[in-house]
Chain A
């Protein structure tokens, strides 16, 4: 069986490293900035977005859970710890996974197609999705994974060296390491490196606004479209995620949505229809939506992979509601991976899996009918 490292390397192709290894540590060592690391691999640094409460309690203000945390305890994410009435992030500059991926893997289909992206993650997540593909790191506390030091400046340096115009905070949940995300985005400013996140969208307004001031794009995993599903299968709530999506529109941050379609749990066409209507009415018909194929993982090993026909029906249903850019994911070679011009129907961007095959856009527009295609193209 493949280790996570082998798995990521094989997927990424041009993998830099995944799950801290000596090889990678040596690669970046010459530039490596040291940060104080405690025994156990923790690198406590004052956290943002929290308020102090009486008796040395704190309330985290990062995600809608708003964890009330007593001294010596951590929030649900497992990476933010109260030490004598002050909240610390334990994972700033301490990723456990770094890899070079194509942007299509995130997936962002309307952001610099074909670009390599330096992808990184620390331990921790504020959700506990039963179908999590990366649970070994997302559901771990930082002591339980091998992490290494990579400061924001070093991350930008690695991205530049590898020819990646983007850094993606991904794999686990970037919200829980927002301080690091923000510092990476700021470090890349003026150096031609932009930062994107792949998130569950469960984040409070203030940190979202602070992040969006620096980020190039935001991908939200909309895991379903009913509260019961969210409560039972993600450990989170739907309403705050929808609010995040609305706010992303107001903030003008480029946003794409991914929906992991899981057999029997969130695959009814009624639910898909409601979801699509929400996107059309509240966010706009030009927001790309990706329906991706579920494969058994973590606590949902009992379910089969999503039939491709279900994904096709979902795509059709969403387009019937007025969505213009609806994609299929995890179905390599399917026409649903391509971008078509809503004006004239021309194939604008052709993909296969994570590979870009053709990009016919001219200045972000259809070369035939000149319809503007929304996205981050330069």
Chain B
């Protein structure tokens, strides 16, 4: 059993701007998830996407997150995605104390439609409880500017919170249809990645979920938006540097946005109050796409296909062998 965080670790965590309480640490250890365990059908060939929603997750009118509900839903999604009973078990299964884990958040749209700092902090906390030292956890995105705009407080201690800014490796790596410099952090430090995208629409790629968030690991995403980001997204996601390190994708769906993305468009944002998690990035992207399409339909919007921006890259990622995008072959569980 991994060691629980020390008081120093916890203080470091708070200092990093990660809003957690002391009680959260104890709760994280004791957290037990409801619902049946994964079925036999949930074999690697049949990936699991766990969807967990909790009414009241966003406390109105203040708009703050109810952290108990966040823990409950996030824990349920992550544990089921990993086929474990508790979130801590899930993180222990997916990560070792020797790992250096990057939590890749998405802060492009600033406050309102970015990965919530509280969600990233909760994941960081579970990682610590699972035995990963805080100094080996990094919450990161493209720039400090974007992190700050989303409410993160950059920090170099405890679980670090850092922007890549200009710190890309010097060499160029060919990854199929594109070539990029990757964040030095990813290349040199991280042994594992948790992808924490948003549940949102994207005007060019159709949706912005797990694969799209990986554009934030390279220096030249602006060159890769033609043709709905296809075939760029599948090939980048399949590049060994990312594929071999990506262990888990958790879509932060506390707030979703079904149209007008990737920027924050309040008219199309809604409180989904949930998370989607999977170890299969293609499966979770397909499930997230479905959620967004359902929301679009309920709002009287045309489907993405009719708007000419169906995210074909998800199916092409399956063809590439990156994961399973065919929903009939995915074990989608509401937990």
By a beta-carbon cutoff of 8 Å, the part of chain A in contact with chain B is 38-40, 42, 55-57, 68, 70-78, 82, 84, 128, 135, 139-141, 143-146, 235, 298-299
Chain B residue with minimal CB distance to A125?
B223
Instruction: Let me know if B223 and A72 touch, CB within 8 A.
Output: no
Q: Are A78 and B168 also in contact (CB < 8 A) when A71-B265, A72-B262, A143-B143 are?
A: no
7 CB contacts below 8 A, A to B, read A39-B145, A42-B145, A71-B263, A73-B263, A75-B222, A141-B222, A298-B179
How far apart are the CA atoms of A125 and B17 in the complex, in Å?
37
Is B264 among interface residues, defined by CB-CB distance under 8 A?
Answer: yes
Instruction: Let me know if A144 and B179 touch, CB within 8 A.
Output: no
Interface residues of B in 252-310 (CB under 8 A from A): 260-265
Q: Which of A39, A135, A145, A235 has the most CB of B within 10 A?
A: A39
Q: Closest approach, in angstroms, between the C-beta of A139 and any C-beta of chain B?
A: 6
Q: Closest approach, in angstroms, between the C-beta of B210 and any C-beta of chain A?
A: 19
Given contacts A72-B264, A74-B222, 8 further A-B contacts (CB under 8 A): A42-B145, A56-B260, A72-B109, A139-B220, A144-B219, A235-B223, A299-B172, A299-B174
Instruction: Let me know if B222 and A76 touch, CB within 8 A.
Output: yes
- Which residues from chain B contact A78 at a C-beta distance below 8 Å? 220, 222-223
Chain B residue with minimal CB distance to A127?
B223
Instruction: Let me know if B166 and A145 touch, CB within 8 A.
Output: yes
Interface residues of B in 114-148 (CB under 8 A from A): 143-145, 148
Q: Closest approach, in angstroms, between the C-beta of A146 and any C-beta of chain B?
A: 8
- Which residues from chain B contact A68 at a C-beta distance below 8 Å? 203-204
- Which residues from chain B contact A144 at a C-beta distance below 8 Å? 165-166, 168, 219
How far apart are the CA atoms of A57 and B204 in the complex, in Å?
12
How far apart are the CA atoms of A42 and B143 in the complex, in Å?
12
**Shortest Cβ-Cβ A-B pairs, 6 listed:** A71-B263, A72-B263, A78-B222, A144-B166, A70-B203, A40-B145
Q: Closest approach, in angstroms, between the C-beta of B133 and any C-beta of chain A?
A: 30
Is B97 among interface residues, defined by CB-CB distance under 8 A?
Answer: no
Name the prevailing secondary structure of the A interface residues. loop
How far apart are the CA atoms of A59 and B39 in the complex, in Å?
50
Instruction: Let me know if A73 and B220 touch, CB within 8 A.
Output: no
How far apart are the CA atoms of A144 and B143 in the complex, in Å?
10
How far apart are the CA atoms of A211 and B148 in the complex, in Å?
38
- Which residues from chain B contact A77 at a C-beta distance below 8 Å? 222
By a beta-carbon cutoff of 8 Å, the part of chain B in contact with chain A is 108-110, 143-145, 148, 165-166, 168, 172, 174, 179, 203-204, 219-220, 222-223, 225, 260-265
Q: Closest approach, in angstroms, between the C-beta of A68 and any C-beta of chain B?
A: 7
Contact partner, A141, options B110, B174, B219, B262, Cβ 8 Å:
B219
Instruction: Let me know if A139 and B223 touch, CB within 8 A.
Output: yes
Chain A residue with minimal CB distance to B165?
A143
- Which residues from chain B contact A84 at a C-beta distance below 8 Å? 263
How far apart are the CA atoms of A146 and B166 in the complex, in Å?
9
- Which residues from chain B contact A135 at a C-beta distance below 8 Å? 172
Instruction: Let me know if A70 and B145 touch, CB within 8 A.
Output: no
How far apart are the CA atoms of A143 and B225 in the complex, in Å?
19
Contact partner, A128, options B145, B203, B223, Cβ 8 Å:
B223
Instruction: Let me know if A40 and B165 touch, CB within 8 A.
Output: yes
Instruction: Let me know if B172 and A39 touch, CB within 8 A.
Output: no
Q: Closest approach, in angstroms, between the C-beta of B116 and any C-beta of chain A?
A: 17
Instruction: Let me know if A71 and B264 touch, CB within 8 A.
Output: yes
Instruction: Let me know if A143 and B260 touch, CB within 8 A.
Output: no
- Which residues from chain B contact A298 at a C-beta distance below 8 Å? 172, 179
Q: Closest approach, in angstroms, between the C-beta of A131 and any C-beta of chain B?
A: 12
Chain A residue with minimal CB distance to B110?
A72
- Which residues from chain A contact B265 at a C-beta distance below 8 Å? 55-56, 71
- Which residues from chain A contact B223 at a C-beta distance below 8 Å? 76, 78, 128, 139, 235
Q: Closest approach, in angstroms, between the C-beta of B13 and any C-beta of chain A?
A: 24
- Which residues from chain A contact B219 at a C-beta distance below 8 Å? 139-141, 144
How far apart are the CA atoms of A16 and B263 in the complex, in Å?
41
Contact partner, A76, options B174, B203, B225, Cβ 8 Å:
B225
How far apart are the CA atoms of A77 and B221 in the complex, in Å?
10
Q: Closest approach, in angstroms, between the C-beta of B155 and any C-beta of chain A?
A: 16
Q: Closest approach, in angstroms, between the C-beta of B57 and any C-beta of chain A?
A: 25
Contact partner, A39, options B110, B144, B225, Cβ 8 Å:
B144
- Which residues from chain B contact A139 at a C-beta distance below 8 Å? 219-220, 223
- Which residues from chain B contact A76 at a C-beta distance below 8 Å? 222-223, 225
Q: Are A70 and B144 also in contact (CB < 8 A) when A77-B222, A78-B220 are?
A: no
Chain B residue with minimal CB distance to A301?
B172
How far apart are the CA atoms of A56 and B165 in the complex, in Å?
26
Q: Are A57 and B203 also in contact (CB < 8 A) when A39-B145, A72-B108, A298-B172 are?
A: yes
- Which residues from chain A contact B260 at a C-beta distance below 8 Å? 55-56, 70-71
Instruction: Let me know if A70 and B261 touch, CB within 8 A.
Output: yes
Q: Closest approach, in angstroms, between the C-beta of B185 and any C-beta of chain A?
A: 14
Instruction: Let me know if A73 and B168 touch, CB within 8 A.
Output: no
- Which residues from chain B contact A39 at a C-beta distance below 8 Å? 144-145, 148
- Which residues from chain A contact B165 at a C-beta distance below 8 Å? 40, 143-144
How far apart are the CA atoms of A235 and B177 in the complex, in Å?
12
Q: Closest approach, in angstroms, between the C-beta of A84 and any C-beta of chain B?
A: 8
Q: Are A40 and B143 also in contact (CB < 8 A) when A72-B263, A299-B172 are?
A: yes
Q: Are A143 and B166 also in contact (CB < 8 A) when A38-B145, A40-B143, A72-B108 are?
A: yes
How far apart are the CA atoms of A18 and B181 in the complex, in Å?
22
Q: Closest approach, in angstroms, between the C-beta of B153 and any C-beta of chain A?
A: 14
Q: Which of A78, A128, A144 has the most CB of B within 10 A?
A: A144
How far apart are the CA atoms of A361 and B223 in the complex, in Å?
46
How far apart are the CA atoms of A71 and B172 in the complex, in Å?
29
Q: Closest approach, in angstroms, between the C-beta of A49 and any C-beta of chain B?
A: 18
- Which residues from chain B contact A299 at a C-beta distance below 8 Å? 172, 174, 179
